[in-house]
């Protein structure tokens, strides 16, 4: 009897492992929550990489362009998929898309070196050194991008590195807005 009781925690742990494994195998990784789509961009205040001036994400969005949508891209110098995505961001800039960068949990020096090496597609870069803006936006990792309307409403979210095809579909969502 004592032996059966001593095996009970091991049996419970094994049952939990089977439960988590079953959930993980049947979960669609393409389904990601977009809780902020249709809601206002959070007004988190961060420092501009270029000047150190403190500005809210919402104000940076307002200052970036007049009436068109803006892409807010969350990236980091230590993120390999961010470097993979970077040529797509540079192509978007060349097409006239306005991009705001948010350097997530990164140092300003590393961010400057990253952008110096790969090019800077952003009209402004904000530094989220403590990750609080990422929490406000509900990101699950980097890179993530948000399409933001002129009024500050989040129109769409893309998780992971953008390809040319996903970037085109992402930007088309701005044109589909009534």
Question: In this predicted model, what pLDDT tens digit does every residue of 43-95 receive, in sequence order?
Answer: 899 999 999 999 998 888 888 876 678 999 999 999 999 999 999 999 999 99
pLDDT digits (tens, 9 = 90+) for 137-148: 999 899 999 999
Q: Which residues of 157-171 are buried (b: 16+ CB within 10 A; e: fewer)?
A: bbbbbbeeeebeebb
Q: Where exactly are the structural domains of the chain?
A: 45-176
Domain 45-176: assigned CATH number: 3.40.30.10
Res 8: pLDDT: 75
Its pTM surpasses 0.75: yes
Lowest mean pLDDT among 62-66, 102-106, 132-136: 62-66
CA pair distance 6, 37, nearest whole angstrom:
50
- Look at the block and give the residue holding tokens 């070196």: 113
Burial (CB < 10 A; 0-12, 13-18, 19+), residue 134, is buried
């Amino acid at each position: 009897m004592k032996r059966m009781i001593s095996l009970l925690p091991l049996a419970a742990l094994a049952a939990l492992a089977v439960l988590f494994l079953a959930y993980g195998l049947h979960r669609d990784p393409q389904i990601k929550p977009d809780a902020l789509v249709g809601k206002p961009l959070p007004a988190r205040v961060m420092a501009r990489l270029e000047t150190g001036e403190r500005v809210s994400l919402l104000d940076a969005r307002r200052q970036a362009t007049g009436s068109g949508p803006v892409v807010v891209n969350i990236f980091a110098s230590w993120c390999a998929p961010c470097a993979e995505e970077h040529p797509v961001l540079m192509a978007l800039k060349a097409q006239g898309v306005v991009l705001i960068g948010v350097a997530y949990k990164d140092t300003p020096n590393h961010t400057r070196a990253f952008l110096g090496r790969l090019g800077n597609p952003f009209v402004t870069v904000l530094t989220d050194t403590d990750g609080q803006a990422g929490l406000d936006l509900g990101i699950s990792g980097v890179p993530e991008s948000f399409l933001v309307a002129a009024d500050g409403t989040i129109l769409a979210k893309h998780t992971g590195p953008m390809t040319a095809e996903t970037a085109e579909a992402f930007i088309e969502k701005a044109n589909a807005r009534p």
